[in-house]
Amino acid sequence: MTIPGKVVAITGASSGIGAATARHLAALGASVVLGARRTDRLDHLVAEIETAGGRAVAARVDVTAPDDLRTLVDLAVERFGRLDVLVGNAGISRLSTLAELDVEGWSAMVDVNVKGILHGIAAALPVFTHQGSGHLVTVVSTSGLKITPTQAVYAGTKNAVRTLLEGLRQESTGGALRTTSISPGYVRTELVDQAIDDPTVREQVQQTMAEIGLDPGAVARAIAFAIDQPDDVEIGDLTIRPTRQD
C-alpha cells in the first residue's frame, strides 16, 4: 500500500462522501486534513479519527473563497510537512429545468462545483510543483455522463471539472502530477436534501436513494484505490454506481 504516511486534504469533509473518505483514508494510515464550513462536524470527525489512532486536523473552508483553500493547504504543510493529495469533493446540487430560470442556483453550483476546484488547484499546484509530486482527485458525477432533465447545469459543472483535470494532465510534464475524476452514481448522503424544491419530488428521490443508493464508504474505497497506486500509475476516470441504477 502507498497510502500509509500520505497527507491528504479533503474538501466537503463534514458529511457524506467526504467524511467517509476521511475515515477510510485515516484508518489506512493517511494523515487527513479536513475542510468544510460546518466546523462542529469537522471537530467531531477529527476527535473520532484520533480516538481510533489516526491523524487528522481541520479548518473552516468555504471553497468559494480562494484564501480558504490556501489555509487548508498551508495547514497540511505546517502540520504534516507536505501535501500528497487534494480531494476536491465539496459540491452542491440544485435541480430544476433550464426553463425555470433558477439563475441563483446556477451561479451557486458554478461557484462551489467549478470555482471551488479552481481555487483548490490555485492553492495546491504551487506545493505540488515545489515537491515534484502531487495528486488531484475530484468527485464529479455520473450525471455528467448521462444528461437527464433538471440536471443540465449540475452535469455541466461536473463535466467542466472533468475538462479542467484533463487540461491539467496535458499540461503537467514528467509525470509529477496525477489527476483522477471519480464519478459516483446515486449515493446515500445529504446532497438531495437541498437539491430539489418540490417536496413531493424530493421525497421520491430520497426514497430511491434510500432503496438503491450506495453507502458513501463505497466511494471512499474507490478514492482510496486511486490514491493507493504506485507513483507511475494514474487512475484517470473511475465510475462507481449502484448495480440497480438506470
Of the candidate residues 31, 150, 179, 189, the single one contacting ligand NDP (CB under 6 A) = 189
Is 215 a binding residue for ligand NDP by CB under 6 A? The answer is no
With CA atoms as reference, report the closest residue to 24 among 92, 87, 79, 76: 87
**For residue 231, what are the contacts with CB-CB under 8 A and spacing of at least 6?**
2, 133, 175
Active site residue 154: yes
Is 61 a binding residue for ligand NDP by CB under 6 A? The answer is yes
Report the C-alpha dihedral over residues 106, 107, 113, 117, rounded to 10 degrees: 150
Distance of CA 98 to the CA centre of its chain: 25
With beta carbons less than 8 A apart as the criterion, state whether 189 and 14 touch.
no
Is 86 a binding residue for ligand NDP by CB under 6 A? The answer is no
Cα(232)–Cα(212) distance, integer angstroms = 36
Is 17 a binding residue for ligand NDP by CB under 6 A? The answer is yes
* Total residues interacting with ligand NDP, rule: CB under 6 A: 28
Q: Which residue has the cell 466537503?
A: 12
Interface stretch with ligand NDP, choices 70-78, 127-135, 181-189, 198-206 (CB under 6 A)? 181-189
Is 150 a binding residue for ligand NDP by CB under 6 A? The answer is no
State the minimum distance, in angstroms, from the CB of residue 189 to ligand NDP: 3
Active site residues: 154
Contacting positions for ligand NDP (CB under 6 A): 11-12, 14-18, 36-38, 61-64, 89-93, 112, 139, 141, 184, 186-187, 189-191
